[in-house]
Each structure stands twice: as C-alpha cells, then as structure tokens.
C-alpha cells in the first residue's frame, strides 16, 4: 500500500488532506510538532486511521527515518503568517526554507526512493495580482503600492501610462513573482527548492500555490493567519471585524475540502515539475467576507465591519487565481460553493472557543512600524 508522509498533518489543511487520503485507502504517517501558536495540545479531530509522530521537520535524523518508509511526501508544515514573518525572520527561514532544504538533502544523499512529492506553496509569492488597463487593453503587473500612495488613500492601482484605474484579472502561474514578505520568500524557496531538486533526481513533484483557504479546523486563536478565522474570532467575541484600507480589496477564497482533493489529485496525476494555482477563480471583497460572517453568526443587529484608518505595509490590493492550469494538469475544479463553504466554517466555528487576540497581534505590527495611517 502506498505510504504517504504528510508533514504538518495535524494542522488545518494537513488534517483535511490526511482524512481525504485515508478515506481513499492510503497508509498515512503524519509528522507535526504541534506548534504552540496553532495548537493547544493534540487536536480532537485527528484521524484514527493515520499514524502520528510528534516531531520537528527540522530534525534530520527523524526525517531520514520517516522518509525511508515513505513512498510519497506531502509537505505542508510551515510557519504561517505574513505580518509576523517580517519580525520573526530567522524562524520563518529556518522552519520553511531550511527545513525543506534539509529534507531535500536527505532525499538526495540517503538513497530515498519517492514516487511523488507534493509541496504547499502560496499565492503570496506573486505579490500583486495581474491587472489590465481598460482604456488601452494592456496587461500590467504593478509593483506594491508605495507608502505615499497608501497615505493618500489611493487604494487602487493606476495605469502608469494613462492614469486610468487598473482592473484586476485572473493571475496565471506565468506572472512574474514578486515576493514581498519573508513568508512569501520562504514559500517561493520551498517551491523552487523542491521542484529543482526533484527534477534533478527524476522524482515527479508538484507545487500547489494555494490562494486563501477557509473552513473547519482553522485555528481561531491564531491571530496571524487566515482572515476568515480572524474575523470569526472577532465576531464570536462580539467585536467588529476590523478592515484595513476601504474593504474593497479582493482575495480568492477556496474551501479546505477542495484543497484536500487537489492534493490527492496532485499525488495521483501524471503532473510533474509544475507549480499550479489552487483557487476558486472568484474574487470576493474583504468587506463582503466580514458581512457574510456577521450574518451567518446571526449578529447583523449588533455588529458591522469596522473600517480602520490604517493599512498594512506590503499588503496587495487584488489577486485571484487563473484556474486553467490546475484543470489541465490535475483535472481539478472546485466543488464547494462559497455559500456552502462559509456555512460549514460557521457551523464548526460556533462550537469552538475562540480567544480574540487580534488587538495583540495588531499592536505588535504597530510597534514594529508595519502599519501606516492614511
């Protein structure tokens, strides 16, 4: 039976991948160090049918042992948090870049025979998404907005030639990457290291560039990741979701069960040495997300999204996935609608205790000078 080693398999996405794989009859081993920022001990949702090893992906000896028994590596373990990565720089590079390098070094030097490697990458490696000038019908890949522009509250990108507001379009994998945070750089490293080493050793590898993933099991206590989880935590504690800029910035939200299926398809498909977007292809505004969650939690009479008078340095304005390559390479299309997915998240969220630590995390960013006022 195929033995799949899932790193980070106790986490939000990893645990859904584990469930998907065991339900398809795979033999699954998980390695996870139950990072304190994410977990309060062993989560109750772990699968009875997988084997769990509580250890660190940075541990060479442990990873050598586990890789010797694996047929497939599914690498999800990472430190996750864009803002936090800008002041916990060493940790992000160590857990993401260096641990991945070490795993690949083991594969290259210890006679490890793998049938496939799947690695979790991220849309954050694009920086801004792709845009089009409606007047000149030209494609644009703008850089991050400058501080001067943000301070004036000019949130949208303007065409450098004619000054017209640019329109966001679907971002293809071919868009030049512009990693604008330490987290994004470390995800790019994980992707590029994996694809290049696996190519050299003839191991088929696929990098999945996840867009914004939401759904059950996302840590509601971790204020550094996932806007849906952060807003859920605020709403459950009767606090309004706090929105940077004007709330009309958009992201591409995809339900975690679709992402788990994309991982299974990546493993089973003939796709090799390729990075593909895993998103819905449908942009949603951040204000709309806040509003939807308030309504689903039944708090529309008490709460409304609060527009903060500030912005976060390094934030992009719009990015949503071009989904063609995922369909072509993996035969992947989303199955869960946004409405059904959000209902699933809230149904689960209602049963969770959630400590709202948003203000604390925001204060840390402010202290480091990573938040500006418009």
Least distance CB 77 / ligand NAD (angstroms): 4
168 binds ligand NAD (CB under 6 A): no
- Between CA 286 and CA 316 the distance in angstroms is 12
- Between CA 239 and CA 344 the distance in angstroms is 21
Q: Report which of 212, 215, 223 is spatially closest to residue 293, judged by C-alpha positions.
A: 215
- Between CA 229 and CA 218 the distance in angstroms is 6
| Range in contact with ligand NAD (rule: CB under 6 A) among 18-26, 76-84, 152-160, 196-204 | 76-84
Of the residues 74, 76, 232, 257, which one makes contact with ligand NAD according to CB under 6 A: 76
56 binds ligand NAD (CB under 6 A): yes
34 binds ligand NAD (CB under 6 A): yes
231 binds ligand NAD (CB under 6 A): no
* Candidates 126, 183, 210, 224; catalytic one: 183
- Between CA 203 and CA 184 the distance in angstroms is 25
Cα–Cα distance list, 162 to 51, 134, 137, 166, 281 (Å) = 59, 10, 11, 10, 28
- Write each residue from 240 to 279 as x if it is in contact with ligand NAD (CB under 6 A), else as -, in one continuous string: ----------------------------------------
The yes-or-no answer on residue 92 being catalytic is: no
# residues near ligand NAD by CB under 6 A: 31
Of the residues 29, 78, 180, 249, which one makes contact with ligand NAD according to CB under 6 A: 78
| Range in contact with ligand NAD (rule: CB under 6 A) among 28-36, 198-206, 237-245, 312-320 | 28-36
- Between CA 160 and CA 165 the distance in angstroms is 10
Cβ burial 156-186 (10 Å sphere, 16+ → b, else e): bbbbeeeeeebebbbbebebebbbbbbbbbb
Q: What is the dihedral of CA 175, 180, 181, 182, to 10 degrees?
A: 80
Least distance CB 318 / ligand NAD (angstroms): 16
- Between CA 57 and CA 351 the distance in angstroms is 31
Q: Residue 31 or residue 159: which is nearer to ligand NAD going by CB?
A: 31
Least distance CB 48 / ligand NAD (angstroms): 18
Q: Residue 10 or residue 330: which is nearer to ligand NAD going by CB?
A: 10
Of the residues 29, 84, 122, 250, which one makes contact with ligand NAD according to CB under 6 A: 122
Q: List helix spans (H) across the chain.
A: 12-23, 60-68, 82-85, 89-92, 99-109, 147-151, 182-200, 227-236, 256-268, 286-296, 324-330, 338-350, 358-367
Least distance CB 219 / ligand NAD (angstroms): 6
| Range in contact with ligand NAD (rule: CB under 6 A) among 29-37, 82-90, 164-172, 315-323 | 29-37
Q: Are 160 and 150 in contact (CB under 8 A)?
A: no
Q: Residue 38 or residue 290: which is nearer to ligand NAD going by CB?
A: 38
Residue nearest to ligand NAD (CB): 11
- Between CA 96 and CA 69 the distance in angstroms is 23
Q: Residue 218 or residue 313: which is nearer to ligand NAD going by CB?
A: 218
Least distance CB 299 / ligand NAD (angstroms): 24
Q: Residue 8 or residue 303: which is nearer to ligand NAD going by CB?
A: 8
- Active site (catalytic) residues: 183
Binding site for ligand NAD (CB under 6 A): 8, 10-14, 31-35, 38-39, 56-58, 76-80, 95, 99, 120, 122, 187, 210, 212-213, 219, 226
């Amino acid at each position: 039976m195929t033995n799949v080693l899932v790193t980070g398999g106790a986490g939000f996405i990893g645990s859904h991948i584990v469930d998907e794989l065991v339900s398809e009859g795979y033999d699954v081993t998980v390695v996870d160090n139950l990072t304190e920022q994410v977990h309060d001990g062993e989560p109750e949702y772990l699968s009875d049918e997988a084997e769990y090893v509580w250890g660190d992906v940075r541990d060479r000896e442990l990873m050598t042992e586990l890789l010797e028994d694996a047929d497939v590596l599914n690498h999800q373990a990472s430190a996750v948090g864009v803002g936090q990565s800008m002041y916990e720089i060493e940790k992000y590079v160590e857990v993401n870049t260096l641990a991945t390098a070490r795993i690949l070094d083991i594969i290259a030097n210890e006679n490890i025979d793998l049938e496939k490697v799947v690695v979790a990458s991220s849309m954050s490696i694009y920086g801004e998404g792709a845009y089009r000038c409606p007047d000149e019908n030209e494609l644009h890949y703008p850089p991050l907005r400058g501080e001067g522009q943000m301070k004036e509250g000019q949130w949208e990108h303007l065409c450098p030639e004619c000054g017209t507001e640019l329109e966001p379009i679907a971002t293809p994998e071919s868009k030049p990457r512009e990693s604008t945070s330490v987290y994004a750089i470390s995800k790019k490293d994980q992707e590029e290291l994996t694809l290049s080493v696996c190519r050299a050793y003839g191991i088929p590898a696929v990098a999945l560039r996840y867009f914004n993933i939401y759904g059950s099991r996302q840590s509601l206590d971790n204020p550094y990741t996932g806007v849906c989880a952060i807003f859920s935590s605020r709403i459950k504690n009767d606090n309004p979701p706090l929105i940077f800029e004007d709330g009309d910035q958009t992201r591409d939200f995809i339900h975690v069960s679709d992402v788990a299926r994309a991982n299974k398809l990546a493993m089973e498909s003939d796709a090799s040495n390729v990075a593909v977007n895993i998103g819905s292809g449908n942009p949603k505004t951040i204000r709309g997300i806040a509003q939807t969650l308030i309504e689903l939690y039944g708090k529309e009479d008490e709460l409304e999204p609060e527009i903060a008078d500030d912005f976060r340095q390094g934030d992009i304005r719009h990015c949503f996935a071009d989904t063609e390559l995922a369909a072509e390479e993996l035969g992947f299309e989303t199955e869960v609608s946004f409405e059904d997915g959000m209902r699933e998240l809230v149904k689960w969220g209602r049963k969770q205790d959630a400590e709202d630590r948003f203000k604390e995390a925001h204060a840390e960013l402010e202290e480091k000078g990573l938040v500006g006022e418009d």
